[in-house]
């Protein structure tokens, strides 16, 4: 029984057609024509408990609209959705008790109050008894390293501190479902990593189901086994990240670092590569090669190159999702 | 869209509202100087309003047949009712910006009716100025006015204040629903607030007939203070004397209607941003 | 609204109007028409206010033709002219100046080739010129409705014209002083609101000063506000005549001079504070 379910979800926005010409503003008020945009156009997916799913798409694809319908903020125009067996827009409060939401752009905390008081208010709002609240709060404060700014008013916190606070607020009452909408936007590298580690731990310890919207593909690489790609309100891809890579970019990347005075040798190697290997990047001491494993095994290439140049360091990696996703956005259709 | 509130839910909801109020007051108290300034400004505004009445009535003994004490009672009832409304709903004032900036989303994600959250976060403590002004004027008036104070009359006074607050509320919450559709409702809200503040403190009888009828039967401003006050003073109005007792009922009906309109409109909430 | 300097326009007189000044005026005129919704709202509220005042006063007069020698009709004219005048000479910069200081644009303003004070004056004047055509529309309407009549004598007309100019001067100076307070206070919002509220009453726009109790009247006579409404309009309706007109003008002139001196001193201090302390 999937925890989060969307079936042919549709959300239309109706805006009055903007009249042009004289007195445009006034005429718009009296116009009968509306422009209908379908922000979400028949989205379906099912997410099981314990999954971390990346929800990707270009701006305006309909990601936030979908999340808002699952959170009970918007009422769908058509189709159905369910979270934990509850229809979000019909039983908004009941749904609210079982979800945690972090909006990257806006804080959920009380602006003028110290962080600690915000957490207390949330504890009360979600009917946590004192014992459980204290226990959860202390754990989160330690895990997210918030002791130093617990008493600071939220408006005085840095972005990283505030995001940690928002995250704590979202999981304080142990909701089974977590919606993260661009949670790492604007954070520095360390903060991003800390956030990702936290979400990963949450998923591991509590089997929290996470739906993550992001533009940062490092988030996805790190956390999501499953990816749903959406554009123009429609699902383009729904499957394992590994499948996506295999289908779209089955090659491997080999990074080679040479030592000593082998400067000329790397150039020679690049000029005379076996079939199925193409150079991607090269400078004096380092080079990256793209290998098609169907044509030539990676091990063979490694052996070949090691024989010709004094290799100091070497690494094999999968292609980054970045390129794949970009291609998909551009192609706008994936053959299943 | 909102589920019905069972009695245990009600207690919890009240407890949470109280926590929110306390939190928001604490938040406000941080800006001490502007807080004092605003309360002072509010009180000054009330004072000037009443100063005008006093100035006129010290030269002319009666306004539409009402003496200074009687007008003061009417003034006090309306002001106290307004202050009572503001105490709970002053935050509604900023709903346009709030919805436009996406703050409303934040409320919908929480397990509490959105309207309650709107009411109790960011309580502007400065509205106490209105309430204090109203109570002071009313108190001073009650000491001097010529009313037979039976328990029934005391009850009428209390109900009139409650009814006035409900009417005031109805004509702010109802128009606020427009924000969900048009992202803006302040012109309408300001107009109603203006009409009530301006005309509501005086006997509706001084207006000419068309205005008087509109402000009694269409927008029931006369029920906010004038009609109940007339009943208390046993003054003849163009309606029978017992009509003053209808004030709380009128208020309740209008208020419930406004809540319904608001709930209905929020279903069409399109959520701006993104 | 950017203040880009146009080409200097030489006037056929001994002095040239500074192009920067003209630019400020033009920008301010344009801005008046930008806020249409707010203007319409103001219009509705003012008409409601006028209506209420009229009802209150009619009720107080209680059918009498005149009270204290003031006929009912004259009182209505007084109130109407007060409203129209308030619209015409309403302040502009007091709503601008704290924004400019908060945003720091005041630093660039000071560096411009013309003085800050002249810029502010330009904005005020622009506002006035922007509103004047609207007023010209309102006057015939008010006359048709019966609320407005022309001054009864030539003396009243000339006297009023002079008095109006002085009234405008007093208004600009008073509000400029309030605006200058933003150099010392974080928010003049409260002060502004306070003054807005009491000014109408103190100036005699709600209750003409003849009707006030003596003590109150004496106090108000010592304040500049009466020069903004009561004095000029009293001349208009013909209540102040002959030598009294000159007396009223003298009082107004006194306030214009006194407030100008104060304004210059305060501005010097404010500029020093800005330059030395960085605002």
Q: What is the mean pLDDT of each successive set of 10 residues along chain A, which is 336 residues long?
A: 90 71 55 76 92 89 90 90 92 92 86 87 90 94 92 89 93 95 88 92 93 88 90 88 80 84 70 78 82 84 84 85 77 55
Region of C66 (left: φ > 0; alpha: ψ -120 to 50; beta: rest) is: beta
- For residues A148 and A292, membership in a common domain is answered with no
| DSSP annotation string for A120-183 | HHHHHHTT--HHHHHHHHHHHHHHTT-GGGTTSBGGGS-HHHHHHHHHHHHHTT--SEEEEEST
Block residue for tokens 């989160």: A140
The answer to the question of residue A91 being in a domain is yes
Separation of alpha carbons A130 and A114, rounded Å: 19
The answer to the question of residue A286 being in a domain is yes
- For residues A185 and A130, membership in a common domain is answered with yes
The token pair at B204 is 């509706």
Chains sharing 3 or more CB pairs under 8 A with chain A: B
pTM of the model as a whole: 0.76
- For residues A255 and A164, membership in a common domain is answered with no
The answer to the question of residue A325 being in a domain is no
Block residue for tokens 């203007």: C39
- For residues A227 and A305, membership in a common domain is answered with no
Q: Which residues of chain B make contact with A75, given a CB cutoff of 8 A?
A: 1, 267, 269
Task: Look at B40-44, B197-201, B260-264 and tell me which has the smallest mean pLDDT.
Answer: B40-44
The number of beta carbons lying within 10 Å of the beta carbon of residue B209 is 8
> Reduced to 3 states, what is the DSSP secondary structure of residue A314?
strand
pLDDT, position C194:
78
The answer to the question of residue A145 being in a domain is yes
Block residue for tokens 């009223």: C248
> What residue numbers bound the domain in which A100 lies?
4-246
Block residue for tokens 């403190």: B201
Cβ within 8 Å, pair C194-B44? yes
Task: Look at B81-90, B149-158, C37-46, C135-144 and tell me which has the smallest mean pLDDT.
Answer: C37-46
pLDDT, position A172:
95
The number of beta carbons lying within 10 Å of the beta carbon of residue C16 is 10
The answer to the question of residue A40 being in a domain is yes
- For residues A229 and A264, membership in a common domain is answered with no
Alpha helices (runs of H) in chain B, residue ranges in sequence order? 7-29, 32-59, 68-89, 95-100, 103-108, 114-120, 128-144, 151-176, 178-182, 186-199, 209-213, 226-233, 247-267
The number of beta carbons lying within 10 Å of the beta carbon of residue A117 is 21
The answer to the question of residue C228 being in a domain is yes
Block residue for tokens 């009330």: B46
pLDDT, position A331:
73
Q: Which residues of chain C make contact with B58, given a CB cutoff of 8 A?
A: 213
The phi, psi pair for A110, rounded to 5°, reads -80, 120
CATH number (domain holding residue A116): 3.40.50.300
- For residues A33 and A134, membership in a common domain is answered with yes
- For residues A164 and A207, membership in a common domain is answered with yes
Q: Which of B28, B121, B267 sits opposite A75 (nearest CB)?
A: B267
> What residue numbers bound the domain in which C29 lies?
19-277
E-assigned strand segments in chain C:
66-67, 70-71
Task: Look at B55-59, C115-119, C134-138 and tell me which has the smallest mean pLDDT.
Answer: C115-119
A/B interface, count of CB pairs below 8 Å = 79
The answer to the question of residue C13 being in a domain is no
The 8-class DSSP code of residue A44 comes to E
The answer to the question of residue C7 being in a domain is no
Q: Which residues contact C239 (CB under 8 A, 6 or more apart)?
A: C70, C74, C210
The number of beta carbons lying within 10 Å of the beta carbon of residue A148 is 9
Separation of alpha carbons A3 and A86, rounded Å: 10
The answer to the question of residue C8 being in a domain is no
Among C124, C123, C119, C116, smallest CA distance to C273 is for: C116
Residue C15: which pLDDT band, with cuts at 50, 70 and 90? very low
Residue C6: which pLDDT band, with cuts at 50, 70 and 90? very low
The answer to the question of residue C9 being in a domain is no
Separation of alpha carbons A286 and A302, rounded Å: 14
The token pair at C181 is 């307070």
Q: Are A226 and A52 in contact (CB under 8 A)?
A: yes
pLDDT, position C7:
40
Last residue of a domain, one of A227, A246, A265: A246
The 8-class DSSP code of residue C148 comes to -
Burial B96-127 (b: 16+ CB within 10 A, else e): bebbeebbbbbbbbbbbbbbbbbbbbbbbbbb
- ipTM for the predicted complex comes to 0.82
Over residues B110-135, the mean pLDDT reads 81
The 8-class DSSP code of residue B125 comes to G
pLDDT at position C14 over 50 = no
Over residues B151-161, the mean pLDDT reads 92
- For residues A160 and A241, membership in a common domain is answered with yes
How close is the nearest chain C Cα to the Cα of B208, in Å?
8
Q: Which residues contact C218 (CB under 8 A, 6 or more apart)?
A: none
- For residues A143 and A260, membership in a common domain is answered with no
Q: Which residues of chain A make contact with B274, given a CB cutoff of 8 A?
A: 64-65
Q: How far is C-alpha A244 from the chain's CA centre?
A: 16
- For residues A199 and A254, membership in a common domain is answered with no
Residue of B nearest to A125 (CA): B16
The answer to the question of residue A333 being in a domain is no
Q: Which of B30, B38, B59 to mutate to test the interface with C (most CBs of C within 10 A)?
A: B59
The 8-class DSSP code of residue C146 comes to T
Over residues B56-68, the mean pLDDT reads 87
- For residues A165 and A301, membership in a common domain is answered with no
Mean of the per-residue pLDDT values of chain B: 85
Q: Distance between the two ends of chain B, CA-based, in angstroms? A: 24
Q: Are C92 and C154 in contact (CB under 8 A)?
A: no
Domain count, chain C: 1
Residue B225, H or E segment: none
Domain count, chain A: 2
Q: Are A228 and A54 in contact (CB under 8 A)?
A: yes
Residue of A nearest to B105 (CA): A73
pLDDT digit string (tens) for B217-252?
999 999 999 999 999 888 888 888 888 899 999 999
- For residues A162 and A291, membership in a common domain is answered with no
The answer to the question of residue C3 being in a domain is no
Q: How far is C-alpha A329 from the chain's CA centre?
A: 16
Name the burial class of residue C171, with classes exposed (0-12), middle (13-18) and buried (19+) by CB atoms within 10 angstroms of its CB. buried
Residue A274, H or E segment: none
Among A122, A193, A187, A139, smallest CA distance to A161 is for: A187
| C-alpha radius of gyration, chain C, whole number | 20
């Amino acid at each position: 029984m999937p925890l989060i379910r969307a079936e042919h979800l549709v959300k239309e926005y109706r805006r009055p057609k903007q009249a042009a010409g004289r007195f445009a503003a006034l005429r718009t008020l009296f116009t009968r024509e509306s422009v209908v945009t379908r922000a979400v156009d028949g989205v379906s997916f099912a997410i099981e408990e314990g999954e971390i799913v990346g929800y990707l798409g270009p701006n305006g694809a309909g990601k936030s609209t979908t999340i808002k319908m699952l959170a009970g903020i918007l009422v769908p125009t058509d189709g159905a959705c369910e979270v934990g067996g509850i229809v979000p827009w019909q039983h908004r409060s009941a749904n609210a008790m079982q979800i945690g939401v972090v909006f990257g752009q806006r804080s959920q905390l009380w602006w003028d109050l110290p962080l600690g008081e915000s957490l207390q208010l949330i504890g009360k709002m979600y009917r946590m008894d004192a014992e459980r609240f204290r226990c959860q709060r202390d754990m989160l404060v330690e895990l997210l390293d918030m002791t130093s700014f617990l008493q600071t008013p939220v408006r005085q916190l840095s972005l990283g501190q505030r995001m940690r606070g928002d995250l704590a607020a979202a999981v304080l009452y142990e909701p089974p479902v977590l919606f993260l909408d661009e949670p790492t936007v604007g954070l520095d590298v360390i903060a991003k990593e800390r956030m990702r580690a936290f979400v990963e731990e949450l998923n591991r310890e509590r089997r929290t189901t996470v739906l993550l919207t992001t533009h940062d593909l490092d988030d996805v690489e790190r956390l999501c086994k499953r990816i749903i790609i959406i554009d123009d309100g429609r699902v383009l891809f729904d499957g394992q990240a590994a499948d996506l890579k295999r289908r779209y970019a089955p090659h491997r990347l080999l990074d080679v670092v040479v030592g000593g005075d082998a400067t000329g040798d790397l150039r020679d190697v690049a000029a005379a590569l076996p079939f199925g290997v193409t150079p991607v990047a090269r400078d004096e001491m380092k080079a990256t090669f793209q290998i098609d494993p169907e044509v030539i095994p990676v091990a063979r290439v490694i052996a070949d190159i090691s024989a010709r140049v004094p290799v100091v360091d070497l690494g094999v990696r999968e292609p980054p999702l970045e390129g794949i996703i970009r291609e998909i956005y551009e192609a706008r259709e994936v053959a299943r | 869209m909102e589920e019905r509130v069972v009695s245990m839910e009600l207690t919890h909801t009240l407890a949470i509202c109280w926590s929110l109020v306390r939190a928001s007051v604490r938040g406000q108290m941080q800006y001490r100087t502007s807080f004092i300034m605003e309360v002072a400004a509010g009180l000054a505004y009330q004072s000037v309003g009443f100063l005008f009445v006093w100035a006129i009535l010290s030269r002319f003994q009666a306004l539409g047949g009402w003496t200074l004490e009687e007008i003061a009672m009417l003034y006090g009832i309306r002001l106290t009712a307004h202050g009572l409304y503001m105490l709970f709903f002053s935050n509604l004032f900023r709903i346009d910006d709030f919805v436009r900036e996406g703050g409303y989303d934040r409320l919908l994600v929480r397990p509490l009716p959105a309207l309650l959250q709107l009411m109790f976060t960011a309580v502007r403590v400065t509205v106490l100025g209105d309430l204090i002004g109203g109570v002071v004027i009313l108190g001073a008036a009650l000491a001097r006015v010529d009313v037979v104070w039976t328990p029934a009359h005391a009850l009428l006074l209390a109900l009139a204040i409650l009814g006035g607050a409900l009417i005031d509320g109805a004509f702010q919450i109802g128009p606020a629903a427009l924000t969900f559709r048009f992202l803006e409702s302040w012109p309408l809200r300001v107009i109603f607030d203006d009409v009530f503040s301006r005309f509501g403190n005086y006997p509706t009888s001084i207006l000419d007939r068309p205005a008087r009828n509109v402000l009694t039967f269409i927008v029931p401003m006369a029920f906010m203070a004038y009609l109940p006050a007339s009943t208390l003073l046993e003054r003849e109005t163009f309606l029978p004397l017992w009509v003053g007792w209808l004030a709380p009922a009128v208020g309740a009906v209008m208020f419930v209607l406004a809540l319904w309109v608001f709930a209905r409109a929020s279903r069409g909430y399109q959520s701006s941003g993104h | 609204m950017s203040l880009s300097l146009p080409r200097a326009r030489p006037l056929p007189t001994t002095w040239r109007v500074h192009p920067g000044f003209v630019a400020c005026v033009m920008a301010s005129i344009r801005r008046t028409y930008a806020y249409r919704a707010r203007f319409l709202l103001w219009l509705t509220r003012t008409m409601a206010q006028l209506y209420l005042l009229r009802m209150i006063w009619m009720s107080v007069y209680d059918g009498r033709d005149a009270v204290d020698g003031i006929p009912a009709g004259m009182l209505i004219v007084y109130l109407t002219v007060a409203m129209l005048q308030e619209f015409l000479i309403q302040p502009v910069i007091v709503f601008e100046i704290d924004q400019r200081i908060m945003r720091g644009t005041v630093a660039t303003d000071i560096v411009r080739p013309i003085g800050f004070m002249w810029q502010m004056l330009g904005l005020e004047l622009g506002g006035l010129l922007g509103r004047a055509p609207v007023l010209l529309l309102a006057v015939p309407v008010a006359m048709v409705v019966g609320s407005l009549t022309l001054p009864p004598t030539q003396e009243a007309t000339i006297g009023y014209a002079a008095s109006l100019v002085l009234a405008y001067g007093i208004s600009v100076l008073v509000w400029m002083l309030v605006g200058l307070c933003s150099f010392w206070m974080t928010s003049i919002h409260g002060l502004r609101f306070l003054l807005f509220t009491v000014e109408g009453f103190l100036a005699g726009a709600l209750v003409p000063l003849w009707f006030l109790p003596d003590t109150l009247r004496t106090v108000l006579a010592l304040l500049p506000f009466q020069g903004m409404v009561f004095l000029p309009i009293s001349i208009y309706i013909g209540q102040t005549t002959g030598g009294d007109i000159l007396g009223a003008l003298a009082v107004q002139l006194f306030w214009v001079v006194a407030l100008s001196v104060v304004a210059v001193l305060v501005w010097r201090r404010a500029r020093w504070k800005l330059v030395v302390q960085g605002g």
